[in-house]
Each structure stands twice: as structure tokens, then as C-alpha cells.
């Protein structure tokens, strides 16, 4: 549910922000502190640092870094004395930490994010990552021990970077003028620059809706470059602007054209500081570059050696923490909208979905549920507590689930006669964020004037647990929770309600769907003057999308750059102005001088607020339901959030461009170790249409988190609304539910090892450059290739089949081998209602043989096995099985499937009793001619058939115990 789409209305006046390093606006004061130095606003005179007092050990080095000349005070006050600590944490992870020796700069407390330390080994002489340095001026570079002559993985030497000064690299953005590349370490500005290979393959640095795609634009070969601002912001999925989450991690994939081999590595900056990360290629430069510009904190870097992309992601997960275990029911289909007015309308959706035969696992409610839009309440008229309880208990009886929204802001009590326990209890426990003078910080969100939980306070977990317990006892017997607006969002600037009339609960804008703000636009591409008022996909047999014009997918642009309005520095307006889409950092969020327990200020901890809420909520749910896996979906995320929550991609738009962005977003969050992620299917903002919703319901069936959700006042988009969407949804969900053992195993591997469940094509085929920029297709695990339709008015789709002709891909539906063009797109039939799915050879998948209406019913039915043999007969797969609900360690069983010519074997190991039987086995590529006989556990099979054209053997009518070894053979 959105506030970001109202951003323009929420600004009390127009703001813009700084545009230049070399020629910044005159409106910023030169004072860091009273009587402090004047800021030069230019780093060209910054002297860098000199390394002394070097001490080496078997695990790394330490040294002193001293300012090498006169302070430049570019955007703050230079810090003269720094400490360098280099630690070879593991064989594959190198830690380079540059911090102020006095340790006055903010660093992330281990109580907030606990990263793994060294493994205790002496890796300095054996690690594949090598730290190299120059002493004066200090610079460092990271190389591979296995390739000492190859270009460094990270290189801060000025000699490796292009000569400066460099005029603005990005047109109309003077801040991309590069005055120099010294190491800058000031109290309010830090800068570090590394050379990259020209046109490097960079992935990550988010959260972002990047116009360039999953592969980030580094400004080469016609690109303009990237300025990735890390400052959490409630903004409706802006293109190329900062948004909900902050993840300063990237993966680089390097291809050696001589050897035709690739390797990947990762770089993580462990900091919560607001920052700009620039990916640029100056004109005529032989190299690209990455530059970090921070407004606080330290330079705390981790490097991961890979060398495969999957290993890089796993190594990152080993540092920040692996993803939380998801309950099995979470993989079902979820339905929500902002605008279900009452419990009856909510119940009606459940009934209509069942009547249409479209599986519905989880029903959600948005803020319509609340009384006076207050957290932890139900409206006594439209959502009476006992009726909500009865509704949820009926869902439970049918093996379905319920999730309500929890907004980040808590209503402030209006007067002495107002009864709102969550607020008063928070006062008693001293859990609200404060102003610098110790008074309550009061913002404005949906219920009017609000306060905000301080996750650093000692008693906030107690408050949160108690509020959730009371809410559930009052009728909202939730199975999971939805955390929204936690960037954190506020509709006013500063502590706006401190002296205000608290009885005024009106919004400073009209909500969508209210008179005066109706969502009346036709769906994208529909021209009513040509096609009439129906809005249908076809009129008189003619497609209506783009009728009368050249189809043009619209683009939302980020706000323009301008001049910072505020003077002074301190906490509210640091001298270096980030490229924040809202202008000053305090617009539409907490003021940057808001204070937290322990003396922390919002400027330093802003990017972590959402993650800290997710952690607290997860721990609260564990306290309330000790044996059950917490299920949380949240919006604002930060490194380690995956330990506590899943994520949805925010308030997207019902536009074809955003169905494409759906893929990019999911691939990003696989890198960030938040793999349980998905988009609002069919779009949240604006009106969707039948064709878009049809295609999107199919795509999302092959994404981890699968929810249809849209805004108040827009056209209803539940999948039963159109026959074609209903049909497509039933088919796609049926496939999804049959694949649940595969999905579940992928996520078990994510939680145990950090292995990403959804993968870009190059993850599995790293040496094929034609795949490096592909984000219109993706892999589920290693074995399932998804090629969705992402454009309107088409009945075919082009897709590339990885493997350069060495891999056999078979159609999911027909089992036919694809006659694909190696290393080039192949055109596939894709009529409306059909999504192309292909199976990789060498795969062995455990499936649910009888997909049913709910996950519980589906899991209660028999299993089947689908084996797609390679040319030599090889196939392999695993399946992890447990009860799908309790928190590990819990009884579990792993099935290992091996195939060779003429045989499939299943090995079974574990202490979980699998009661469902294996009912059928399908082997693709089994033989060129019909076998003479088929044996099951050494005895003649009673029922089997062979299709010679497909080389498909199907053995059915089985009742095989999966707690024991299984053998199917044929000759």
C-alpha cells in the first residue's frame, strides 16, 4: 500500500539538491561546527593519507594512516588519524576496514547486524584474495593469488584511474565532475574510488528499478552511467532513483576473451551511511570506475572471491546471515487490495476464488482493516473483531491463511479520553523516537499524528510482542504479517505534530478513489476515442493496445537535479548533498536529527530502520508461536534483512515496463540474500487490463512470492475477473503447485547455504557473454528456464537457450526437444494464456502428482518424479522434505536422485517420515526405441508406456515408499 505516489503532494515546498563536487551551490554554509573550517567543496586539493606503523600477522595487517598534507575540508572536517585493519577472514573472504582511530564515526552495532568474524585460520598466504598497497599516498588493490598478472579486482591507485580533473560525465549533473581520486575521510564526507574493467559487468547495488536492467549501466558503449543513492525513501518504484531499501553490495562477473572463461567476485561496503555509489566511464577512458561518496560512517569493505557467481552470493550470506526458513504455505497464491471495504467484501473474494477454481492460499487486508487507521485495531463497524475471528477461523479450517498489514507509525493518543493502548504502553516503556530535546518526535501518517518505535530502546520488543498478542486475541488471528511504510515514511517534515491539534486526523491530500482523486485512466495503451469505452483487450476482433498510435511504453523519470535549499551542515543538511529523489534527506521521513536510545541520530541509522523493525517483528512472532516459522513480508530492507523477512517490490505500476522490472527486482534480491521476493502482480498503481494481468499472473507463478495486489479506487484485478486470466491462472498455479517440492528444496538450500533460488542465466552458464545482460528470462534453480511475454499484442516471444547448443532443453508441457539456435534468440509460440517453461537436461525433479486447491491438500497427495536425461543418460537432483512449518532443526529427509542409461535411483536419508507415496516416474530421453522390459525395485512394472518420438518412458500406478531406496530400470 502506497504513500510514495503522493510524494509530490507531500512536499511542503519545492526542494532540490546539490549537483556538483567542483562547483557546488553557494547556499551551503562553510561551517562544519561553529568556528569550524570553510568547506572547499572540491576534493582536488585533498592530500590523501600516508601509511606507517605497518604490522603483519598470519591473518592480516594493521597500520596507521595519517593525513598526508594540509586538510582540504571539502565537505566536512578532515580526520587526521585513521587505522587500517586487513583481515583474511576465510579462504574466500577478505576484510579491509579503514576507520577513524578515535572511533567517533558511527559504525553498525553488532546487536543490530551481527556479521561473521574470522574463522580462526591463518589465510594470509593461502587465500585466493591478496591485499596489496602503496604507502604514500596510501592506495590499495585486491588481486587473485591464482591470477597475479590479471587486472585487480578492486584498485584505488590513481595510476589505474583516468587523469583528473574530468568535466561532468553525466550531462546536466555537475556532481559527476571528477576533481580527483584521493582517499577522503572527513566527518561528513568520505570518498573512495576503484578502477573497473571497461564496461564491467556489475550487478546489485540496490534497491533499484534500473532503466538499464539487471546489469548496471557503467557509462560505456552508449550508456550514461549510474548514480545509486542509498537513502531509504517511500517512493513508488521510481526508475533510476533511490527507493525503499539500501544494499551496498555488488557482484562483478569478468569474462576472459582469450581463455573464454569467466570468474565472479563480490564487494560489500558494510555501512548504513547515506551514500552515492557512482558507476561511470569518463570519455576516452580505457577503464570504468566505481566511486563511493558517503556522508558519514567508515570505509568497511568485504571482498568475496567466488569464483562462481553462486559462490559469491553464498559467501556474502555466510557473512551477513542466511535467509529465514519459509513455511510451505507461503509459496501459495496470495490475494490483497487496498480497498476491501469490509469483512463481507473480503470474504467475498475468498468465495469467488473458490467458485472460480483458482487456488487461494492466503487472504490479506490493507489498512481498510483498521479503526481510525490505527495499528493493531479492527474497525468496529466494517471489521468487527469477532467477525474477523470467525472469518479467519473459517480460512484455517479450509487450510488457508490470513495476513494483515502493520504500518510503521503508531498513532499518538489524541486526548485523555482517547484509549489507545499501543501508544500509552509505549510511553510507559519509553519506546518512541525522540527530538533532540528529549520530547516525543511526532510525525504524520495515515491515522494523523503519529510516533515511531525506537528499535534501539530496551523495551521495544516487549511493546511490539504485547501489541501483536493483544491484536490476535482481539480476533486478528494472523498467520503472518505485512510491514509497510518502514523507510520510514512521514507525510510532514520534522516533528510536525509536537504542538499541533492532535484531533485533526485528516490527510494533507486526497486518497486514491476519493471524490476528486478517482483512478479513472484507461489501462496503458488503450485509446477510448478509437476503441470505445469498454477497455477490453479486443473490440470486434481487433487488439486495442496501441490502437491509432505507435506502441510506446511510458517511462517514469526521477526528479530533476537542482540546488540545495537549506544552509548549514550538521545533521539536517550535510555539505555533500546526496542524489535523494526528495531533495533534502529529511523530506517525507524522520528528521535526520531525530534521536534514538543510546544517543544514535537518524542520519546515521536511517537506512536500517526497516530491517530493525523486521528483526523485532520476527523475534516477537517467535515468542508468540515458538515452534512456527515467522512469515513476514516487508518493504524497506538492509543487509541481513533476509534473516528476518521476505520482501515485495513495492508500489509498482500496471504497465508493461514494470512486468519486465519484476524480473530485475527478483534477481537483485537473490544477490542481497532476501530470496523470498515478488512484485504486486498485475501492478499496484493505475488500472491494469486483461492482457497485462493474464501475462503477469503467469510470470508471478514462477516467482518466489506470488501476490496480486492493487490500489484503492482502481479497477478490480482479482484473477477471476476475466475468463482468460482465470484460465491462465489455474494453469500456471497448477504448475507452481506441482513444482512445490522443487521450490521448497531451493529455499531450504538458501536457508542452509545461501544458494540463490532464482538465477540469471549467466549464473549457470558463466562463459557465455551473450547471457550477461539477459533479464527477460531467468532460471528457477538450475533446471527450469522461464521465458515470459513482456510486451503487448504478441503471440510469440523470443528467448535464448543457454548452453551454446550443448544442452538439450525440453518443453514443460509437451516434453518435446527445442530446436534452438545456439547463442541467439529462438522464436517461441506464446498465445495469450501460455508461458514458456523448459526443462534442462540432466535434471531430476520431485513433483506433487496432484496439485490441489491449497498447499496442505497438495502436500498430502502423492509424488511423481520427472527426469530429463542428458545425451549420456546422466541426470541428478535432490529434494528436501520436512513438515513445512516448524523452525529447524526439525526432522527432515533428503532424497537424492541419480540417473544413468537405463536406470533411475532414489536414495533416502533423514529422520522425517514421508507418508506420501511415489506414484509415477517420467523419464525423458530414456531410449531411442521402446524398452523390452521395465523393472520397479527389481520386479516387472505393472503399468508403463513409451513414446518413441519423445523418447519418453512413463511408469505409473506406483506405491513406492520414499523413506527407502527406489530403483527403476529398463532394458
DSSP string, 22-56: SS--TTS-S-SSTT-PPP-S-STT---EEEEEEEE
Q: List, for residues 242-255, the tens digit of each pLDDT value.
A: 999 999 999 999 99
Q: List, for residues 893-906, the tens digit of each pLDDT value.
A: 999 999 999 999 99
Catalytic annotation, pick one of 100, 179, 366, 487: 487
CA separation for the pair 593, 275 (Å, rounded): 17
Residue 25, pLDDT > 70, answer no
| pLDDT for 326 | 98
Check: CB of residue 2 under 8 Å from CB of residue 487.
no
Work out the average pLDDT over 833-847.
98
Q: Residue 818 corresponds to which cell in the numbers above?
A: 527445442
Residue 513 backbone class (left: φ over 0; alpha: ψ -120 to 50; beta: rest): left
Residue 16, pLDDT > 60, answer no
Q: List, for residues 73-97, the tens digit of each pLDDT value.
A: 999 999 999 999 999 999 999 999 9
Work out the average pLDDT over 845-854.
98
Q: What is the residue whose three cell numbers read 506414484?
A: 919
Q: How much of the chain exceeds pLDDT 90, in percent?
A: 87
Work out the average pLDDT over 863-882.
98
Q: List, for residues 299-350, the tens digit of each pLDDT value.
A: 999 999 999 999 999 999 999 999 999 999 999 999 999 999 999 999 999 9
Q: Regarding predicted confidence, which is higher, 528 or 54?
A: 54
Distances (CA, A) of 399 to 276, 352, 734, 807: 47, 17, 17, 41
Helix (H) or strand (E) holding 604: helix 602-605
Q: List, for residues 768-813, the tens digit of each pLDDT value.
A: 999 999 999 999 999 999 999 999 999 999 999 999 999 999 999 9
Catalytic annotation, pick one of 484, 764, 775, 783: 484
Q: What is the residue whose three cell numbers read 571528477?
A: 178
| pLDDT for 898 | 98
| pLDDT for 533 | 85
Q: List, for residues 589-620, the tens digit of each pLDDT value.
A: 999 999 999 999 999 999 999 999 999 999 99
pLDDT-based confidence at residue 5 (cuts at 50, 70, 90): very low
CA separation for the pair 377, 370 (Å, rounded): 5
| pLDDT for 19 | 31
Residue 742, pLDDT > 70, answer yes
| pLDDT for 549 | 60
Check: CB of residue 801 under 8 Å from CB of residue 839.
no
- Confirm whether 484 is a catalytic residue: yes
Residues 6+ apart with CB under 8 A from 422: 374, 375, 376, 410, 411, 463, 467
| pLDDT for 585 | 96
CA separation for the pair 884, 856 (Å, rounded): 10
Q: Residue 848 corresponds to which cell in the numbers above?
A: 506433487
Catalytic annotation, pick one of 300, 366, 573, 651: 651
Residue 33, pLDDT > 50, answer no
Q: List, for residues 274-296, the tens digit of each pLDDT value.
A: 999 999 999 999 999 999 999 99
Check: CB of residue 666 under 8 Å from CB of residue 647.
no
Q: List, for residues 104-150, the tens digit of each pLDDT value.
A: 999 999 999 999 999 999 999 999 999 999 999 999 999 999 999 99
Q: List, for residues 420-433, the tens digit of each pLDDT value.
A: 999 999 999 999 99
Query: What order do you get walking across the sheet with 247-256 strand by strand?
Result: 49-57, 60-67, 81-88, 93-100, 299-304, 261-269, 247-256, 201-206
| pLDDT for 430 | 98
| pLDDT for 502 | 85
Residue 36, pLDDT > 70, answer no
pLDDT-based confidence at residue 12 (cuts at 50, 70, 90): very low
| pLDDT for 520 | 86
| pLDDT for 21 | 35
Query: What does pLDDT average to over the chain?
Result: 93
Work out the average pLDDT over 849-869.
98
Q: List, for residues 144-194, the tens digit of each pLDDT value.
A: 999 999 999 999 999 999 999 999 998 889 999 999 999 999 999 999 999
Check: CB of residue 88 under 8 Å from CB of residue 129.
yes
Check: CB of residue 78 under 8 Å from CB of residue 67.
yes
- Confirm whether 767 is a catalytic residue: no
Amino acid at each position: 500500500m502506497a504513500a510514495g505516489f503522493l510524494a509530490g503532494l507531500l512536499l511542503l515546498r519545492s526542494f532540490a539538491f546539490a549537483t556538483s563536487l567542483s562547483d557546488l551551490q553557494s547556499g551551503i554554509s562553510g561551517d562544519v561546527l561553529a568556528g569550524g573550517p570553510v568547506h572547499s567543496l572540491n576534493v582536488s586539493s585533498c592530500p590523501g593519507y600516508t601509511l606507517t606503523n605497518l604490522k603483519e600477522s598470519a591473518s592480516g595487517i594493521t597500520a596507521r594512516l595519517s593525513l598526508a598534507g594540509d586538510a582540504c575540508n571539502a565537505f566536512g572536517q578532515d580526520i587526521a588519524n585513521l587505522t587500517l585493519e586487513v583481515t583474511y577472514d576465510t579462504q574466500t573472504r577478505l576484510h579491509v576496514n579503514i576507520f577513524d582511530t578515535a572511533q567517533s564515526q558511527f559504525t553498525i552495532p553488532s546487536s543490530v547486524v551481527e556479521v561473521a568474524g574470522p574463522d580462526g585460520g591463518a589465510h594470509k598466504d593461502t587465500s585466493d584474495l591478496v591485499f596489496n598497497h602503496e604507502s604514500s599516498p596510501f592506495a590499495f588493490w585486491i588481486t587473485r593469488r591464482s591470477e597475479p598478472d590479471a587486472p585487480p579486482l578492486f584498485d584505488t591507485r590513481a595510476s589505474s584511474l583516468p587523469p583528473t580533473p574530468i568535466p561532468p560525465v553525466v550531462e546536466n549533473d555537475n556532481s559527476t565532475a571528477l576533481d580527483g581520486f584521493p582517499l577522503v575521510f572527513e566527518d561528513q564526507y568520505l570518498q573512495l574510488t576503484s578502477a573497473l574493467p571497461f564496461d564491467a559487468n556489475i550487478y546489485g547495488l540496490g534497491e533499484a528499478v534500473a532503466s538499464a536492467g539487471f546489469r548496471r549501466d557503467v557509462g560505456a558503449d552508449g550508456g550514461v552511467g549510474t548514480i545509486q543513492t542509498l537513502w531509504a525513501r517511500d517512493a513508488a518504484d521510481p526508475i533510476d532513483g533511490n527507493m525503499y531499501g539500501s544494499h551496498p553490495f555488488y557482484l562483478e562477473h569478468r569474462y576472459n576473451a582469450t581463455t573464454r572463461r569467466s570468474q565472479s567476485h563480490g564487494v560489500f561496503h558494510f555501512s548504513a551511511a547515506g551514500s552515492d555509489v557512482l558507476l561511470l566511464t569518463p570519455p576516452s577512458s580505457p577503464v570504468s570506475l566505481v566511486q563511493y561518496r558517503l556522508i558519514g560512517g567508515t570505509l568497511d569493505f568485504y571482498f568475496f572471491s567466488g569464483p562462481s557467481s553462486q559462490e559469491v552470493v553464498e559467501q556474502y550470506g555466510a557473512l551477513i546471515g542466511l535467509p529465514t526458513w519459509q513455511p510451505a504455505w507461503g509459496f501459495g497464491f496470495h490475494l490483497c487490495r487496498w480497498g476491501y471495504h469490509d469483512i463481507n467484501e473480503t470474504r467475498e473474494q475468498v468465495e469467488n476464488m473458490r467458485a472460480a477454481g483458482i487456488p487461494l492460499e492466503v487472504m490479506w487486508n490493507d489498512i481498510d482493516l483498521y479503526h481510525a487507521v490505527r495499528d493493531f485495531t479492527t474497525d468496529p463497524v466494517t471489521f468487527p473483531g469477532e467477525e474477523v475471528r470467525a472469518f479467519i477461523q473459517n480460512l484455517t479450517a479450509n487450510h488457508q491463511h490470513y495476513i494483515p498489514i502493520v504500518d510503521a507509525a503508531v498513532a499518538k493518543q489524541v486526548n485523555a479520553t482517547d484509549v489507545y493502548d499501543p501508544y500509552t504502553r509505549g510511553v510507559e516503556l519509553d519506546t518512541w523516537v525522540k527530538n533532540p530535546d528529549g520530547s516525543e518526535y511526532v510525525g504524520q501518517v495515515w491515522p494523523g499524528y503519529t510516533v515511531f518505535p525506537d528499535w534501539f530502546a530496551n523495551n521495544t520488543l516487549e511493546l511490539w510482542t504485547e501489541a501483536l498478542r493483544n491484536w490476535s486475541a482481539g480476533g486478528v488471528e494472523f498467520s503472518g504479517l505485512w510491514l509497510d511504510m518502514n523507510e520510514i515514511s512521514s507525510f510532514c517534515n520534522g516533528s510536525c505534530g509536537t504542538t499541533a491539534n492532535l484531533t485533526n486526523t485528516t490527510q494533507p491530500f486526497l486518497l486514491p478513489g476519493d471524490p476528486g482523486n478517482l483512478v479513472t485512466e484507461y489501462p496503458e495503451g488503450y485509446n477510448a476515442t478509437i476503441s470505445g469505452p469498454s477497455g477490453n483487450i479486443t473490440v470486434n476482433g481487433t487488439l486495442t493496445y496501441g490502437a491509432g498510435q505507435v506502441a510506446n511504453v511510458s517511462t517514469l523519470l526521477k526528479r530533476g537535479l537542482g540546488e540545495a535549499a537549506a544552509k548549514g551542515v550538521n545533521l539536517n543538511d550535510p555539505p555533500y548533498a546526496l542524489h535523494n529523489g526528495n531533495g533534502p534527506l529529511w523530506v517525507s521521513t524522520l528528521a535526520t536529527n531525530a534521536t534514538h536510545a543510546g544517543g544514535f541520530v537518524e542520519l546515521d541509522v536511517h537506512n536500517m530502520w526497516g530491517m530493525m523493525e523486521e528483526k523485532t517483528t520476527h523475534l516477537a512472532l517467535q515468542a508468540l508461536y515458538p515452534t512456527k516459522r515467522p512469515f513476514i513480508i516487508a518493504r524497506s530492507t538492509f543487509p541481513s534483512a533476509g534473516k528476518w523477512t521476505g520482501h515485495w517490490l513495492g508500489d509498482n505500476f500496471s504497465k508493461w515496463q514494470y512486468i519486465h522490472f519484476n524480473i530485475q527486482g527478483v534477481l537483485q534480491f537473490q544477490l542481497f540474500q532476501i530470496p523470498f521476493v515478488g512484485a504486486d502482480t498485475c501492478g499496484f498503481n493505475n488500472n491494469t487490463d486483461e492482457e497485462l494481468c493474464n501475462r503477469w499472473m503467469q510470470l508471478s507463478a514462477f516467482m518466489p512470492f506470488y501476490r496480486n495486489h492493487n490500489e484503492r479506487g482502481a479497477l478490480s484485478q482479482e484473477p477471476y475477473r476475466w475468463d482468460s486470466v482465470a484460465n491462465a491462472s489455474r494453469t500456471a498455479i497448477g504448475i507452481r503447485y506441482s513444482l512445490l517440492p522443487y521450490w521448497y528444496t531451493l529455499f531450504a538450500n538458501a536457508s542452509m547455504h545461501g544458494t540463490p533460488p532464482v538465477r540469471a542465466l549467466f549464473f549457470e552458464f558463466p562463459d557465455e557473454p551473450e547471457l550477461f545482460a539477459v533479464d527477460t528470462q531467468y532460471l528457477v534453480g538450475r533446471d527450469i528456464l522461464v521465458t515470459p511475454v513482456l510486451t503487448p499484442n504478441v503471440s510469440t516471444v523470443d528467448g535464448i537457450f543457454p548452453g551454446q547448443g550443448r544442452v538439450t532443453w525440453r518443453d514443460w508441457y509437451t516434453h518435446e526437444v527445442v530446436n534452438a539456435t545456439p547463442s541467439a534468440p529462438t522464436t517461441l509460440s506464446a498465445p495469450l494464456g501460455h508461458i514458456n517453461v523448459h526443462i534442462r537436461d540432466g535434471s531430476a525433479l520431485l513433483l506433487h502428482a496432484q496439485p490441489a486447491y491449497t498447499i496442505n491438500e497438495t502436500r498430502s497427495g502423492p509424488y511423481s518424479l520427472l527426469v530429463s536425461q542428458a545425451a549420456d543418460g546422466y541426470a541428478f537432483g535432490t529434494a528436501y522434505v520436512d513438515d513445512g512449518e516448524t523452525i529447524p532443526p526439525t526432522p527432515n529427509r533428503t532424497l537424492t536422485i541419480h540417473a544413468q542409461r537405463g536406470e533411475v535411483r532414489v536414495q533416502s536419508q533423514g529422520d522425517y517420515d514421508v507418508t506420501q507415496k511415489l506414484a509415477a516416474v517420467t523419464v525423458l530421453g530414456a531410449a531411442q526405441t521402446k524398452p523390452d522390459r521395465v523393472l520397479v525395485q527389481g520386479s516387472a512394472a505393472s503399468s508403463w508406456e513409451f513414446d518413441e518420438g519423445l523418447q519418453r518412458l512413463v511408469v505409473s500406478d506406483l506405491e513406492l515408499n520414499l523413506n527407502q531406496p527406489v530403483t527403476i530400470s529398463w532394458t
